[in-house]
Amino acid sequence: MEKSELLYRITMNPEILFGKPSIRNMRYPVSMILDLLSAGMTNEEILADYPDLELEDIQACLAFAARLANVESITKIKAA
């Protein structure tokens, strides 16, 4: 599956998780999957713990994070 197709699995619905990025409109936040991966869990362990998820969901979370990290600059906004 191509990266652009994977990103369609990431949804932001104001009625689910207050609009935070989640997987396929389920209550699995992208940040949780990224936290699990950064803690050392394997894809197989995550899929075993969360049977509603698919390998492509984990790949979508990584693609989403990569896109967010690919900013050219971050500008600090002065408080009013």
pLDDT category of residue 72 using cuts at 50, 70 and 90: confident
Distances (CA, A) of 28 to 37, 73, 80: 14, 29, 36
- CA dist., res. 46 & res. 36, Å (int): 8
Q: What is the pLDDT of residues 14-61, one digit of tens each?
A: 999 999 999 999 999 999 999 999 999 999 999 999 999 999 999 999
User: Is pLDDT at 80 greater than 70 in this prediction?
Assistant: no
Instruction: Give the pLDDT confidence score for residue 71 in this predicted structure.
Output: 77
Q: Which residues span the domain enclosing 27? A: 3-69
Residue 47 lies in a domain: yes
Task: Give pTM, 2 decimals.
Answer: 0.84
Residue 23 lies in a domain: yes
Whether the CA torsion 11, 17, 20, 26 is positive or negative: it is negative
Residue 77 lies in a domain: no
Residue 71 burial by Cβ neighbours in a 10 Å radius (0-12, 13-18, 19+): exposed
Residue 25 lies in a domain: yes
Residue 79 lies in a domain: no
Residue 78 lies in a domain: no
Name the domain count of the chain.
1
Q: State the CB neighbour count (10 A cutoff) for residue 78.
A: 5
CATH assignment of the domain containing 18: 1.10.10.10
- CA dist., res. 16 & res. 30, Å (int): 12
